[in-house]
A and B are shown apart, each in its own frame.
Chain A
């Protein structure tokens, strides 16, 4: 594997509340190459969102370090843009305004006003949302909001794009549609992506590697699986593909045999 672009270096994360310390992640070690699409999968409460927040810099590590291009990450920034699970668009801005806010902040001084407009529109085009650019977030559907969230994150030209269960709240059809969009965008931009998910099919379809977490507390990486499927991938053809079926089975076995979520009944 190529030299690590993003490195999660023996990270442990503890939360303290009222003098009680609980260890959420223990000794998580992960290296991600540039342009890779990595999914992190695990049962609820296994700390996968915590791991994403650590990479985003929204929370600090207790032990270890996170390195992006060999530089330590300890605060949030636009080089690690997040698509939030619940889209987190600002309701008082239009679709355009939400993306433009990010563009203005990240590219002020580097792009002219006209270029920033162009760039905003370009990113809305990427997610096919130019038709609704003047709508308020409350006027568009959940899938569309998530598209705008993706456009906003892409517009920051992040080194790593972080997706926090981006399609979790969507219906199956919309979800498939958005997964295709993400694949298309990843194919054309070749960006580095970390996606949190609990959907096995989604993980296999989109990822180059799947990181499987054991159950918390003190969750660690149980196994890392390479997905040896050629791109571009077609949802329909994959349904009968040997490698796909095998990969899917491995992930399911990990989640439901080796690391069953005991509390869930």
Chain B
């Protein structure tokens, strides 16, 4: 689908190049070379502009409409939440300068998000490795599936924060506890999806592996992982989403410099505009993480589409 789309775009761009050349030959007369360089680039710029207009204008309009509605609702006397103008005047600095650094506890939200992302990456990284390995085990072995699947199905419903007291007791430190909560939150979809992917490896590929006498390690790297990659990345994508959901809550309780603790701190000192700005940061970061894992997945699994 995406291939034909880009082909169409390319074809359209090609048409425009021809058109521009025809125009340039007419208008520029005897100096075609001088006009050619920008004219070839121009349609590309124009088509980028067109796709930007198509993808950016509608969300911008809805965003402005929401701001207006919010402004009206929160400007009434007795409104409990700050309006957009109040947010801008009181917390605008947080938006304008994401990376200021005025000492250990007074840093920009960009830095705080980075700290949280780093925690998520460590916990999620462990979850990805352990999840793929456990998922492989559950997908390959009927006994492992019968033994482990019921446990996984029960544990995956436990809310992330319910693990936190246990983690604090076990690690006696807030940072590893937060990382553990990320780990335990994001591992389940990775395990389950990997297991489904491994169970769905076509018998043909298994036969090829048998005829070639691939050893278990070769089978894992050359057949299993590439064949299950689309499933694995679905799991990773769900996992990183859950991890990002859990980090804020975990940081609220464990403290430190993450974005979650910032919100808790802002609440304690009644800085509601700061909280609203932080929500924006969290949303955008979560979106970027999701798209990042999705893009990596698309890139890596580009060959595995069934044929």
Q: Which residues of A contact B (CB under 8 A)?
A: 56-58, 75-78, 80-82, 84, 86, 88-93, 101-102, 105-106, 136-138, 145, 156
Contacts and interface: CB of A to CB of B under 8 A. Distances in A.
Interface of B: 202, 204-205, 207-208, 210-214, 218, 222-223, 226-227, 229, 301, 303-307
Contacts of A78: 211-213
Nearest to A138: B307
A90 B223 contact: yes
Given A84-B204, A88-B205, A138 B212 contact: no
A90 B213 contact: no
B208 A138 contact: no
A17 to B, nearest CB: 16
A93 B227 CA distance: 11
Nearest to A164: B207
Given A88-B204, A88-B205, A101 B210 contact: no
B208 to A, nearest CB: 5
A58 B209 CA distance: 11
Contacts of B229: 92
B212 A88 contact: no
A136 B218 contact: no
A18 to B, nearest CB: 16
Q: Which 8 A-B pairs have the closest CB atoms?
A: A138-B307, A92-B303, A88-B204, A76-B210, A92-B226, A92-B304, A105-B212, A76-B211
A77 B207 contact: no
Given A90-B226, A92-B303, A138-B307, A102 B207 contact: no
Nearest to B223: A90
A200 to B, nearest CB: 27
Contacts of B303: 91-93, 136, 138
B205 A90 contact: yes
Nearest to B303: A92
Question: Secondary structure at chain A's binding surface: helix, strand, loop or mixed?
Answer: loop
Contacts, number: 64
Contacts of A88: 202, 204-205, 207-208
Contacts of B304: 91-92
B132 to A, nearest CB: 17
Given A92-B304, A156-B211, 6 more contacts: A84-B204, A84-B208, A101-B222, A106-B212, A136-B303, A156-B212
Contacts of A75: 210
Contact of B212 (A91, A102, A136, A145): A102
A98 to B, nearest CB: 9
Contacts of B307: 89, 91, 136-138, 145
A137 B226 CA distance: 15
Nearest to A102: B212
A89 to B, nearest CB: 8
Nearest to B214: A105
Interface centre among B212, B226, B227 (most CB of A within 10 A): B212
A81 B227 CA distance: 22
Nearest to A106: B212
A33 to B, nearest CB: 23
A77 B213 contact: yes
Contacts of A138: 303, 305, 307
B44 to A, nearest CB: 26
Contact of B211 (A80, A89, A91): A80
Most buried by B among A76, A90, A156: A90
A163 to B, nearest CB: 13
B223 A91 contact: no
A76 B213 contact: yes
A88 B210 CA distance: 13
Given A91-B304, A92-B304, A93-B303, A101 B212 contact: yes
